[in-house]
Chains A and B, each alone.
Chain A
Amino acid sequence: MYLTEVSTWDMVKKLYRYKLNSYFGVFTSLVIIQILSILFSLNGTGSSGGSSDTFEYNMNIYSGTLILAFMMGWAFLVATLITTKAYRYDDSSFVSNRTASHFSNILFLFSASIIAGITVYFSYHLFLSVVSLFMKVRVVQADTLTPIQLAQGITASVLYIFLFTSLGYLTGMLVQVQKFFVFVLPALFIGALIIDGNLSDEPRLLISLGSFYGLETSFIVFVFKTLLTTGALYGVSILVSRRVEVRP
């Protein structure tokens, strides 16, 4: 019996606010990774060319896809780090429980994904400006997006990044349960790729996984797919975390 009953939702809110104010490094690393991705993208993400007797062209393709890919990697790392002891123990200095800690983490990661997803779009334009200012190229085509395409694109970026946070969170949790997962998970991943490559003429594992989300042309179905996967991965993470030791 306590004088004041604290609901789980109140705990989640408090922890979430604390994390937004304290995990500053998450956002500085976002800046650094984005700058790095812009630098990598400057070389172009692809090229094509052709010639005839009197005409020759080469075209560098500058795309924001690489920036998004870097952000996915960043999201995975951030989510993995957030499951480490240093971060988990920090929650115990508050009046909280495991559920509150998980939900505040998920909320924080979702907020970070929103920021990352929006800045992916802005950083693409920063990259575009750098290319236009410092590299002498004639543009053959620049996208003109409709407001709906823009909104869908940013939302999809956020969801892709959020999907990777859930993957990172599960990986982090598994490692917290058993340290040998540090070796087992990469070995399983690489092993699966090798077996996939050996079993068939063309490796299909990553392509099929990527196509499941990347080739989905219906926005609503895509949202369902990513949210269901993300929810499932976070759900498994929460279940797995029951086996993680509590702070002594």
Chain B
Amino acid sequence: MILLSLLPLLILAGIFAFIIWGYRALSFKNPGRKLAKWLIVGYAVILVAGTVYSYSEASTKQVIGKTVSRHEVKKQDKAQIRLFDRAREKGVLQINNDILFKKSEKSFPFKGKQLTVSIPDSYNLFVDRDPGFQGEVVVTHYMSRTFIGNMDVTEKRKEASIALKNSVLDVTFNKTKLHLAAYSEGFVFHQFNGGKRESVWEGDDPVFGDDFILLKVPQGIKVTSEDQLVTNVTVE
């Protein structure tokens, strides 16, 4: 405990010692000239090797998601809101692949007359009744697009767990956790970009896409849910 409380002092002493040492190292009467030469040459080699590695491997292979312009992100965000509003208010769901991403689809044989859907609240449940559809239900997990800055990371999101037992369809959304890194040479390399942002973290707030379930059922089946409002839609 005492050692821990002394830690800031020790760090300060270390920095002070380092400055004194650096000051002495700056003297041209420095006796370790040969060592210094090796240090500089060695460091130069390491710098070149690091740069070659960074260019060949590091940045390109690991980049995730598709980069889009900030304008496109805003356009998508507005389009998503319109799409959900239209579905809820007018009962028309437009499956636009530019806005929506189909994460998974499952079909279950179903002969009953009533289907209860267990789904957490705050998620949309859309039901499409197809007259030419018999003996099965198709459950599709859709998500609208997710952007971190100007990077589309929708495809990194996890699919929902969907299971049908007796006449209860259980839907659980799984949380996706991403640990990311953004690299930038620094502000000085972006200072003269004509006012464009340096990088992704300088972008606007992230856009978190909404998950929803589209349930395709034969006509005449009653769909209920305890926690969520069931919205009947016509799919376009």
Contacts and interface: CB of A to CB of B under 8 A. Distances in A.
Secondary structure of the B side of the interface?
mixed
Nearest to A22: B28
Interface in A15-33: 22-29, 31-33
A129 interface: yes
Interface stretch (B5-13, B73-81, B108-116, B172-180): B172-180
Interface string B195-219: 1000111000110110100000000
B201 A61 contact: yes
B177 to A, nearest CB: 5
B30 A24 contact: yes
Contacts of A94: none
A142 B180 CA distance: 11
A193 interface: no
Most chain B CB within 10 A, of A54, A131, A133, A157, is at A54
Most chain A CB within 10 A, of B23, B146, B181, B193, is at B181
Given A55-B208, A59-B201, A137 B179 contact: yes
A12 B11 CA distance: 42
A65 B54 contact: no
A122 B183 contact: no
B221 interface: no
A50 interface: yes
B220 interface: no
Contact of B206 (A50, A136, A156, A222): A50
A140 B63 contact: yes
Contact of A139 (B36, B37, B59, B189): B59
Contact of B199 (A68, A130, A141): A141
B36 A138 contact: no
Size bin of chain B's contact surface: 35 or more
Nearest to B157: A55
Given A128-B54, A129-B50, A129-B54, A137 B25 contact: no
Contacts of A136: 179
A140 B182 contact: yes
A97 interface: no
A53 B212 CA distance: 12
Contacts of B37: 24
B69 interface: no
11 contacts: A46-B201, A56-B176, A60-B182, A61-B184, A63-B187, A78-B26, A131-B183, A140-B149, A140-B181, A149-B192, A152-B192
Given A141-B200, A150-B189, 4 more contacts: A61-B182, A129-B53, A141-B63, A217-B194
Interface of A: 22-29, 31-35, 44, 46, 48, 50, 52-65, 67-68, 77-78, 81, 86-87, 90, 119-133, 135-143, 145, 149-150, 152-153, 156-157, 160, 214-219, 222
Interface of B: 22-23, 25-28, 30, 33, 36-37, 39-40, 43, 46-51, 53-55, 57-60, 62-65, 67, 120, 122, 146, 148-151, 153, 157-158, 173-195, 199-201, 205-206, 208-209, 211
